[in-house]
Structures are given as C-alpha cells and as structure tokens.
Amino acid sequence: MDALRKRSSRELCFSLLERELGHPLPLTRDDKDINEVWNLVDYCLSHTGALHALMTVVEHLHGASTPLEEVRHLVDELLPEPLLLPRERRELDRLVRALGDHAAEAVAPATIRALYWEVAGPSGPALDLDPGDLRRVLARLEDFTFGGDGVPPLLAFVDELAAYATGHVAAGLRRWADDTAHRLGVRRGIAAAPRRATAPRSYLIIELRPDGAAADRYLASAWLQVEGEHGLMLHCDDGDPVPFDGLPALVKELLSENPQVVNRPTPDMTLEFVLPGDLLGTPFDQLRISVDGLERRLGIEHPVVVRSLDRMRRRSYHHHWLRKWHWLRDNPHSAKVCWVTQPGRYGGESLYSMLLAETPSVCLAMAFPPGPDGGDASAELRAALQAGVPIVAWCRRGRDPERFAHEFQELLDTGALTLPESVLSLRREALRALDEAPDGDHLGLDLTLLFDDADRLPEPYVRLNAPA
C-alpha cells in the first residue's frame, strides 16, 4: 500500500502512530523499504493495541482499497479488540512515566512482580518478561482480559500501583482506574479487588452539648471506638457541666490518664469533636495541653476533625448524609469539591439544591469561616449539612480564594478518605514553618476540617439492632 511503500508517506505514518500511541517507536530502521515495514508490523504485533492503531493511521493516509479491506479483515479475525481505548492507553503511559520520576519503589522489579501475581492470580499468564519494563507488563495484563472476580487485572494492578504513589500521580492513577472501570461497567468491582490489610484505627470521640443553665458551660461525653467495634463510654455528661476553659484539662485527662485510651489496641488514633453549630469554628486542633511539662497543640499529635452534633441528632438529615457518604466510600477518587469563594455567593436554597442534585459533590470548601465571630453556622454550612455533604473545610481567618483552592486541592489529591491524615501532615508542616517565620500565615494553622463518617456514629446515635 502506498501509505507504507513510499518512504515519505511512511515517515508520516510513523509520526502519526507515535502520536496515537503516546510514545516514540523503538524501531530498527532499514535501507530496504520492505524490511522497515516488517519491523513496524512486528513491533505492532508485540504491543497490545498497536496494530489496531496502525490500521487507523493507514486507513487515514491510504484511503479505501481492496488490500486495505483484506488487512482489516485479518486484524479483526486474528486479534481481539484491545481492552483500552487509545486515549486511555496514552494517559496511562503518561502516568506511569510520572510515577517513575516520583516513586522509585513503585517501579522496582520486585514490586511489579509481586503486584502482577497479586492481581493475575495463579491462573494468569506467566511473567516471562523483564518486570522492570513496566510498559510491557501493562500490555501483558491488558491481554489478560478478566480475572476470577470479573475485574480486568490491569485495572486492579493500576489501583494497587497507586498505593505506592503520592499527590497528583496517585490521584491520577486512581482516577484513571475509576474512569476506565466505569466505561467497562465494572466500577464497583475495583472496590472489591484485594487490598492490603491495614491496622484498624482508634477514635476518641468528645461530644459537647450546650448547658441550658449556663451559656459558657457544656455537657461533655467521650467514647473510645476501635474501627469495626462498638464504642466504649469514657466520660458521661451526667456530671457537672464543663466551662470552656476547662476543656484542655478534660482532653489531657482522656489522652494521658484514661486507662482505656492509654492501653488502646492500635497506636493510630483520631480525635473527633462532636459540636453544636456555634462551636464548629473553634480551633480545637490548636488547643494546647501540657503533659509532664511539655506543652503541645492537639493537631500535631493526632488527626483532629470536627463533626456536626445537629446533624447527628436530627434523623431527618441522615438519608442524604448516608447516600453521599456511601457514594464517597465506593468512589473515593472521584470526589468533587464545591468551591465557595465568598459569603453569600450562593443562596442557601440554591446551594442545597445543587449539592443534592450532584451526588459526586461530597466536599464543600470555603475560603472563609462559616460564621462571624464564632456565631451560628452560616447559610453555606447549613445547606451542606442538610444536603448530606460529609466533608467541609474552611480557613478560619479567611484566605485568597485562588490560593486556598490550590492548597486544599493538593490535600484532596492524596485521597478524600485520607484527608484527616493529610491535614495532620499539613499542621506539622505549619509548625515547622512557624519556627522559621513567626509572622507567617500557613494554612495548617487555620484550617478546620469537618469530616463526618455516616457509618460510624457515637453510641447514643446508633440505631438499636436485634440481639445477636
């Protein structure tokens, strides 16, 4: 065919094929035209999807003809349709190159070999190629179309590979796996793919309820909950109301003296403050406690988040909340953020309707605090809570909207469900920056994170179940 016979048109064909595949062709060039054509065909036969891409380019350059129709018939008969679309393969290749630049461990041969057998299983094709050539490993997995659970091993492999990456590369790999699974109709299958076991996390939950008799006093309750288990009551609000300035002493006692907390089964623990609307803006992450003469902020020792007492107490809010949370749990890397740059940009009803209609909008980010001078929740926060949004973040002192969006998006890129841990790292980073520049305005000193797990409620708010 003219598109391949003539050197000038063949050079154009090579250029277009490289653009279609997304990477250079490692071809052996030859003075004889026919040898160069065979080298090209041989390369395309050994790389998944390459021959289909070549046919697309040749059809574009050559036009209709009997030889072209016969070649197309042979390709359709002898080679299965590739699992990935060309644009999906190009995007994966770009992400894999970026991964190699950021995480050498992820592309180490031992890591690739272990992940390959984890997703391919004992019935998968033998890994009779160099595991250090990640592109060829991905091509082999693409050929092995479906695993025993119906999930393409390639998607499970990419999902596992993302665990070795960080930041935008990890987010990009997970988003690629989610989007490709959605196109193939196996979105929920990825969530069921084998995951490495992680130790359960402990949660110290401290609830503050206003005392009706004194505005500056609160009825405090506390529970210790290990992930997957019932909560253990540590402190009951039947005692005397606690003044606000007495909260550091209560928290210190729970953290350093309570035997259940001190002897908890897991070292990792998250502090959750369940608060009424007028306390949600209080910087509990900056609360200072002193243990054995060493004063420190809560937010640099443990992840500290706030939760809405009002939403927990109102059962009518729970339906939207559960729906949003379950979507986030099943699609953690497809979460969308609703950005609010200034108070009053949206009317309460308008924002509520928008958040309800867009299920993936599971996070509200505000560049300003939700209420003036610690007052009641603003219209934006109230709309988010009633619409079931499980994640809300804001800057307590206000911030340039573009700067806030950039800083918070970097946190979100590490994963929506790991935001408490990402914010902990940010707060530690802010403290180091404070030593160097005491007048700095690092976001880690001013960020409040409302993170509401609808599946894990303190004991009084859990529906009663039938006896075991």
Among 145, 171, 191, where does a domain finish?
A: 191
Among 191, 220, 246, where does a domain finish?
A: 191
What does the alpha-carbon distance between residue 82 and residue 98 come to, in Å, rounded to a whole number?
A: 24
What are the phi and psi torsion angles at 109 (to 5°)? -55, -40
Residues 323 and 382 in one domain: yes
Q: CA Rg, the chain, in Å?
A: 28
Tokens of 95: 């992400």
Residue 85 lies inside a defined structural domain of this protein: no
424 Cβ contact list (under 8 Å, min separation 6)? 299, 300, 302, 303, 304
Question: What is the three-class DSSP state of 67?
Answer: helix
Residue 93 lies inside a defined structural domain of this protein: no
User: Residue 365 is which amino acid?
Assistant: A
Q: Contact at 8 Å (CB) between 179 and 92? A: no
CA atoms within 13 A on the CB side of 264: 27
Residues 373 and 447 in one domain: yes
Residues 125 and 212 in one domain: no
Listed residue (221, 223, 208, 368) closest to 277, CA to CA: 208
Among 191, 221, 242, where does a domain finish?
A: 191
Neighbours of 409 (CB within 10 A): 14
Residues 237 and 327 in one domain: yes
- Sequence length of the chain is 468
Tokens of 334: 């497809």
Residues 264 and 139 in one domain: no
Q: What is the pLDDT at residue 235?
A: 86
Residues 187 and 219 in one domain: no
Question: What is the three-class DSSP state of 220?
Answer: strand
Residue 84 lies inside a defined structural domain of this protein: no
What does the alpha-carbon distance between residue 28 and residue 67 come to, in Å, rounded to a whole number?
A: 25
Residues 209 and 171 in one domain: no
Q: Which domain holds residue 131?
A: 104-191
Residue 468 lies inside a defined structural domain of this protein: no
What does the alpha-carbon distance between residue 303 and residue 73 come to, in Å, rounded to a whole number?
A: 60
Phi-psi region of 167 (alpha: psi -120 to 50; beta: other; left: phi over 0): left
Neighbours of 262 (CB within 10 A): 10
Q: Which segments of 316-378 does DSSP mark as H helices, in order?
A: 318-330, 348-357
Beta strands 304-308 and 269-275, pairing class = parallel
Listed residue (193, 261, 191, 276) closest to 224, CA to CA: 261
Give the C-alpha distances (Å, rounded to integers) separating 322 from 246, 334, 454.
34, 17, 6
What are the phi and psi torsion angles at 338 (to 5°)? -95, 110
Residue 281 lies inside a defined structural domain of this protein: yes
Residues 210 and 181 in one domain: no
Residues 137 and 13 in one domain: no
Neighbours of 231 (CB within 10 A): 18
Residue 199 gets which letter from DSSP?
P
Residue 292 lies inside a defined structural domain of this protein: yes
Residue 335 lies inside a defined structural domain of this protein: yes
Total tally of structural domains belonging to the chain = 3
Q: Contact at 8 Å (CB) between 341 and 367? A: yes
Is the full-model pTM beyond 0.75? no
Residue 212 lies inside a defined structural domain of this protein: yes
**How many contiguous H segments (helices) and E segments (strands) does the chain have?**
19, 12
What does the alpha-carbon distance between residue 379 and residue 371 come to, in Å, rounded to a whole number?
A: 9
Residues 274 and 174 in one domain: no
- Kindly give the confidence (pLDDT) of every residue in the chain, 468 residues in length, as a single tens digit, with 9 standing for 90 and above: 777 887 878 888 888 887 877 777 777 777 888 888 888 888 788 777 778 888 888 888 877 788 888 888 888 788 777 788 888 888 888 888 887 765 555 677 877 888 888 887 765 666 777 777 787 788 888 877 665 556 788 888 888 888 877 777 888 888 888 888 888 877 544 444 444 445 678 999 999 998 877 778 899 999 999 887 778 889 887 667 888 888 899 999 999 999 999 998 888 899 999 999 889 989 999 999 988 889 999 999 999 999 999 999 999 999 999 999 999 988 887 889 999 988 888 888 899 999 999 988 999 999 999 875 444 458 899 999 999 999 999 999 889 999 999 999 988 888 889 899 999 999 999 999 888 888 878 999 999 999 999 988 887 776 544 444
User: Residue 89 is which amino acid?
Assistant: R
What does the alpha-carbon distance between residue 166 and residue 90 come to, in Å, rounded to a whole number?
A: 21
Residues 172 and 307 in one domain: no
Residues 211 and 310 in one domain: yes
What does the alpha-carbon distance between residue 177 and residue 195 come to, in Å, rounded to a whole number?
A: 15
